[in-house]
Amino acid sequence: MIEQLIWRWRERARSSVQHARLDWPLLGALFLLASIGLSTLYSASELNLSLVVGQGSRMLLGGMMLLLISRIPPSILRNWTPWLYGFSLLLLVVVALLGHGRGANRWLAIGPIRFQPSELMKLTLPMMVAWYLHARPLPPRWSALLIVAVLVGVPALLIAKQPDLGTALLVAASGLFAIFLAGLGWWRIFSLAGVMAAAAPLLWHFMHEYQRNRLRMFLDPESDPRGNGWHIIQSEIAVGSGGLFGKGWHHGTQSRLEFLPEHTTDFIFAVFSEEWGLIGVAVLIGLYLFIVGRGLWIASNARDTYSRLLAGSISMAFFVYVMVNGGMITGLLPVVGVPLPLVSNGGTSAVSLLAGFGVLMSIHGHRKLVSR
Amino acid sequence: MKSYSRITAIKDTAREADQFRIRAIIGFATIVLALSALVARFYHLQVQRHDEFTTRSEANRIRLHWLAPARGLIYDRNGVLLADNVPAYRLEVVPEHAGKLDPMLQELGAVVPLSDDDIEHFRQLVAGTPRYDSIPLRLHLSEDEVARFAINRYRFPGVDVVPYLTRRYPLANEFSHLVGYVGRIDLADKAQLDPGRYAVTTLVGKIGIERYYEDMLHGEPGYERVESNADGRALRVLDRIAPTPGKNLYLSIDARLQTVAEDAFVGRTGSAVAVDPRNGEVLAMVSVPGFDPNLFVNGIGHSDYNALLSAPEKPLLNRAVSGNFTPGSTVKPFVAMAGLGLGVRKATDTVFSTGEFHIAGQQRAYRDDLRGGHGRVDVIEAIARSVNTYFYSLAQDMGIDRFADYLVQFGFGEKTGIDLPTESRGVLPSRDWKMATQGKVWYPGETVIAGIGQGYWVITPVQLANALAILAGKGERRQIHLLHATQDGFGKPQVLQPIPAAAPSFIKPADWNAVAQGMIAVVNGDGTARGLGDGFPYVIAGKTGTAERYSRTTEAWQNIMETAVDRHQVLFEAFTPAESARIAVVVALEAGHTGASDAAPIARKMLDSWLTTDAAAGIGVLK
């Protein structure tokens, strides 16, 4: 009896592995990345195990989300898309009205769980843009672009207002990637870019004073050694002193000490760079590149436009994280609060990222099924 | 891949898939390019500039060391120092280096005494400050304590004795209420202060001028960039941005006049305020008794504080701006001015005083001070002899609404807006005020007693002084104030505060003459303070006030009638030279016999002192 049960369980497990709609190379890369993330976190937090366990368990939750979502066919995701988007938008409005948080209204508290609706939007916004574009003749026309601009602009403005400029830009970027991948004509791309460049001074007008200060500091970090400029300088020292081979795990002096702000969250890359040097950085960036490339490969092989656009924009948005965070800690880009994916401490971000990869897995796993 | 066989309506799926593949490749190429740029940046920092950053990181570390600005000094108008900075030593702790705080505090307490207050303040600050910041633990160490700590210093890593500037008030009690004091920054202060500006500030203004002009007095902190070794010890200073000291303040107060006023109270409780009606400057502002503000600066002990709190004379109460007095007869010149200004009375109109006044149809008698009455009096005599009946009937004829509307022009029932915190509004009785605060209707009898400054009417000495200055200035309202000049630092030029513009006068000259004659007669004629102006070179105009502290129907009144001579609040107001006033003085005592006998002599002493100190004393209308 028991043997039979065990046998049946084993068979079921074997079949679900064999028929699992998972992309093993991608999953392996993500697992590796999460391991690097946790070990860096352990070092950056001065061997604070409870912090690592907390982050680990949130990653586990994200992993389960990934597995769950990978079982859902893209066609069903597509049918849910407008509702999911509407729901995320509603949550953003609720946050704007009664959010919690230190100085910024980013969090919603439901019982003991606190999460940022803007993270949900990171996933549902590219879904919505893909959903809108997939039924239309491509490349998109101006009128379609206008609709997309509204679909992207409204949540981006709500998030920027929280204020969370980093996330707002990321959300907006994922929408723009979908348009790019949809085959928007080149001259339209360039004229859009021109319009956005012209609108940049307007953005300045909408920024909070601290955000403006960050930009000013970026241009001249030495001018404010007591504030944001100090952070940039210290981050560069941490990175630069890491050298080619790094100081070794948990031997970074600069980064773990008082000099580096937010060294378990936004500036954790500096800790990693100090301890593992250029070699470590190259490996990590290579890993990220592999994940993005694999994502785009999955997108290219997807069966329908919706899946393609969605998988493509999720992958490219993932790259933006790495680029913005890496640029920030090396003084290449201004300081905006963007985490290093799956390495920075932060629950909602890890869960939403892994959920996004769940969508990629689903698209990959269902590529052989006719979905239209 | 072979979807050609499937029929799609409008969309060309195959072409879209190809298109997408091209875009994905372009996208990926861009990503590779961007990430290469990022790696190049890492290469630049980690390989090309590695040595530079290693130097900055490993051997030496640069930290910012904040420098506290010196607090601005406070002087009187002639440069007499009222608040000073003196060097002292305090204990500071860097929690990051100090190890476990509880045993450390325990051990340290055996070397240098720490009060519960010190420890509580310290814990609050530890909770809200980064662990690498230095946090003050005990202020104002004695020489003995500094020496004892120096011997034991090796036992306490992260704890250090640090020099700082503390506040000293050389004229202690005399200016306690006016100048106020500074105290240790607490959590409530922290919530309001700019954390950058106050990063290394220990003391913040708590009351008085110190509080009101905190922003000007504080200054801007500077910093040093210090190279430290791996243990955090400073090796050398790289560069230094000096702190900007706070502004020095010169108050309009004349310390000599203030001292004379303070001394004249000889043990009584009360307040005196002197204002220059020409510019609104306060020349003296006294609240007696005072206290020693130096006690508060470095943390007052519980016993000292409780003694101040529980003292029956309430030394912590600033009677000049927060003391509530019943004005009594001192308001009669203002009420008379209202009667003339509103046209209810002409200067020649008379009233027959029989000793009692009745509202038609009511039993209750409103009395004159003189049994049998003063006979027939006009406005001048009514003020000079303080004839109640004249003002009862005047108030009744005006009605409470016109009465209140007119008198508010003298600032009654409103804050004067003087540059001190915690000012009280007082009460100008009116129908609206009573309905708003008590929810009750107004009775005619209340109008009648308002005419002699009784009933609901409440003033603060500074409010009455402000009203008197408006009257003395013939109806020109000027913002009264204490700040005379500011100075950016020692030896820098003084910047005079502009004289506030006056609102146009609301008083007709003829009316003013009538009221002023009444007030001159108070002092120089047959009035209630006759003889007070003897020997004074200028004509003094004044008015006495004697306000009952207790209702005549209560038991307390009976007791006080039988036992105490000083059973009233007594007041005196005066300005001189009467025709072109340069000083207006109000004296208010919480307990006294009459305004003439107790308050007026204090005012005279102040005027005598003013004669000898006023720079412009030869100008004016001599008798």
> Both ends of chain B: CA-CA distance in Å?
117
Average pLDDT of A200-221? 71
**What is the percent of chain A with per-residue pLDDT over 90, rounded to a whole number?**
26
> Both ends of chain A: CA-CA distance in Å?
44
Active site residue B310: no
Q: Is the CB of residue B280 less than 8 Å from the CB of residue B499?
A: yes
The CATH label, of 3.90.1310.10, 3.40.50.300, 3.30.70.20, 3.90.1150.10, for the domain at B66-96+106-249 is: 3.90.1310.10
Average pLDDT of B243-271? 93
- State which amino acid sits at residue A362: S
Chain B neighbors of A244, CB-CB under 8 A: 46-47, 50
Treating both helix axes as pointing N-terminal to C-terminal, what angle do B13-43 and A165-181 enclose, rounded to 10 degrees?
140
Identify the residue with better confidence: A228 or A33.
A33
Q: Which of B287, B322, B329, B430 is catalytic?
A: B329
pLDDT above 90 for B431: yes
pLDDT at position B136 is 87
Lowest mean pLDDT among A54-68, A186-200, B245-259, B270-284: A186-200
Question: HSE-up of B185 (CA within 13 Å, CB side)?
Answer: 21
Overall size of chain B counted in residues: 623
pLDDT at position A254 is 61
Average pLDDT of B493-517? 91
pLDDT at position B430 is 93
Q: What is the mean pLDDT of chain B?
A: 87
pLDDT above 90 for B274: yes
Interchain proximity A244–B131, CB inside 8 Å:
no
pLDDT at position B606 is 95
pLDDT above 70 for B174: yes
Q: Where are the alpha helices (DSSP H) in chain A?
A: 2-18, 24-44, 49-70, 74-98, 117-134, 142-160, 165-181, 186-206, 209-219, 228-242, 268-300, 305-329, 347-365
Average pLDDT of A286-299? 94
Which of A231, A237, A254, A360 is the best residue to mutate to test the B interface, defined by the most B CB atoms within 10 Å of its own CB? A237
Q: Is the CB of residue A106 less than 8 Å from the CB of residue A162?
A: yes
Judged on CB neighbours under 10 Å (0-12, 13-18, 19+), A145 is middle
Average pLDDT of B196-212? 89
How many pairs of residues across A and B have Cβ atoms under 8 Å apart? 138
- Scanning A259-288 for CB atoms below 8 A from B yields 259, 273, 277-278, 281-282, 285, 288
Q: According to CATH, where is 3.40.710.10 located in chain B?
A: 255-617
pLDDT tens-digit map of B119-136: 888 888 787 666 667 788
Interchain proximity B54–A288, CB inside 8 Å:
no
pLDDT tens-digit map of A30-51: 999 999 999 988 888 767 777 8
**Measured at the alpha carbon of residue B552, what is the angle toward residues B549 and B556, in degrees to the nearest 5?**
65
Cβ-proximal residues to A213 (8 Å cutoff; 6+ apart), any chain: A224, A227, A228
SS3 assignment, position A114 = strand
Q: Which of A239, A285, A300 sits opposite B20 (nearest CB)?
A: A300
**What is the percent of chain B with per-residue pLDDT over 90, rounded to a whole number?**
52
- Scanning A93-112 for CB atoms below 8 A from B yields none
Q: Is the CB of residue B79 less than 8 Å from the CB of residue B151?
A: no
CATH T-level assignment (fold) for domain B255-617: Beta-lactamase (3.40.710)
Average pLDDT of B232-242? 75
pTM beyond 0.80: the answer is no
pLDDT at position A33 is 93
Q: For residues B484 and B248, what is the distance between their CA atoms, to the nearest angstrom?
A: 11
Lowest mean pLDDT among A8-17, A235-244, B442-451: A8-17
Identify the residue with better confidence: B172 or B417.
B417
Which of A179, A226, A340 is the best residue to mutate to test the B interface, defined by the most B CB atoms within 10 Å of its own CB? A226
pLDDT at position B365 is 84
Interchain proximity A237–B49, CB inside 8 Å:
no
Interchain proximity A239–B225, CB inside 8 Å:
no
Lowest mean pLDDT among A226-235, B165-174, B261-270: A226-235
Which of A136, A228, A247, A258 is the best residue to mutate to test the B interface, defined by the most B CB atoms within 10 Å of its own CB? A258
Identify the residue with better confidence: B458 or A261.
B458
Assign A216 a pLDDT band (cuts: 50, 70, 90).
Answer: confident
pLDDT tens-digit map of B568-587: 889 999 999 999 999 999 99
Q: Is the CB of residue B202 less than 8 Å from the CB of residue B68?
A: yes
Average pLDDT of A183-200? 81
**What is the percent of chain A with per-residue pLDDT over 70, rounded to a whole number?**
83
CA distance A91 to chain B (A): 31
pLDDT at position B481 is 95
Q: For residues B500 and B477, what is the distance between their CA atoms, to the nearest angstrom?
A: 9
Lowest mean pLDDT among A350-354, B191-195, B323-327, B398-402: B191-195
pLDDT at position A35 is 93
Q: For residues A150 and A171, what is the distance between their CA atoms, to the nearest angstrom?
A: 13
Comparing alpha-carbon positions, the chain B residue that sits nearest to A225 is B64
SS3 assignment, position B180 = coil
**What is the percent of chain B with per-residue pLDDT over 70, rounded to a whole number?**
91
Chain B neighbors of A139, CB-CB under 8 A: 19
Lowest mean pLDDT among B100-104, B168-172, B435-439, B510-514: B100-104
